[in-house]
Amino acid sequence: MNAYQRRQTVVVDVGGVKVGGAHPIVVQSMTNTDTPTSTPPRAGARAARRGQRAGAGDGQQRGCGRGRTGYRGRRGRPGDRRLPLQRHLLLTKYPKCAAALAKYRINPGNVGAKRRDEHFRTIIEVALSHGKPVRIGVNWGSLDQQLLTEMMDENARRPEPLDAREVMIEAMLASALRSAELAEECGLAHDRIILSAKVSAFRIWWT
C-alpha cells in the first residue's frame, strides 16, 4: 500500500481525550438500539460495551438519564449523544443532560428548517455556557437541501458539468465550512470545533 502523511489538524479536547494533531486516532461508536423505548434500556448499554471492547468510546450515553434523552450507560470514553432533531430545545430544557455530555453534535441539514441559523446559534450558546466542543457532522442523507439545490443549479450552468455525486460532496464540504464559520461568529473557539462528513458509500482510488 502507498505510504501517506497524516494531515496536521487543530487539537480538540473532548472530555479529556485529545482529538487531532499528532494524537492517536480515536474511534467513536454509535449504537443501533432504540434508547427511548428499549425495554430494558440495558440493551443499549450492552451495545455500547461491545463498541468499547472493539476500541470505540461509549461515554456518549453517560449522564443522559433514561427516557427521551437516552439511558444511563457505563462510563467510558466521552462522545456526543445523538439527540432528537429539536436538540436546541432539549439542551436548553435539560441543562443536566447538556452538562453531562462531552461534546455536542450538529447536523446542519437538520437544524430547524426556516429558523436554522437561530437554532444553530442556540446550540452554540449552550456549548459556550457549558464549555463543550461541538462536532459539525454533515450527513449525506440529510444534507441542506437549499444549499444542494443552489449548487446543482450552478453546476448545470457550467460548460462541463460535474457528476451529481461530485456536486453533492462539494455541497457537504461547503455546508460544514459554512457552519464552522457561523459557530466561530457566535463565539466558539476554533479549537472547540470538529468537522466530520458521512456518506453511505465510498470509492477507493489507487495512484
Task: Give tens-digit pLDDT for 34-43.
Answer: 655 545 567 7
Q: Please write the tens of the pLDDT for every residue from 134-179.
A: 999 898 888 888 889 999 999 999 999 999 989 999 999 999 999 9
Report residue 4 CA to chain centroid gap: 26
Bigger pLDDT: 78 vs 183? 183
Identify which of 42, 46, 45, 47 has the alpha carbon closest to the alpha carbon of residue 32: 47
- Helix (H, G, I), strand (E, B), or coil: what is residue 62? coil
Average the pLDDT over 80-105 and give the result.
Answer: 76
pTM: 0.74
Bigger pLDDT: 52 vs 202? 52
Residue pair 149/143 in contact (Cβ under 8 Å)? The answer is: no
Q: Domain 84-207 is in which class?
A: alpha beta
Please determine, for residue 199, whether its predicted confidence score (pLDDT) is greater than 60: yes
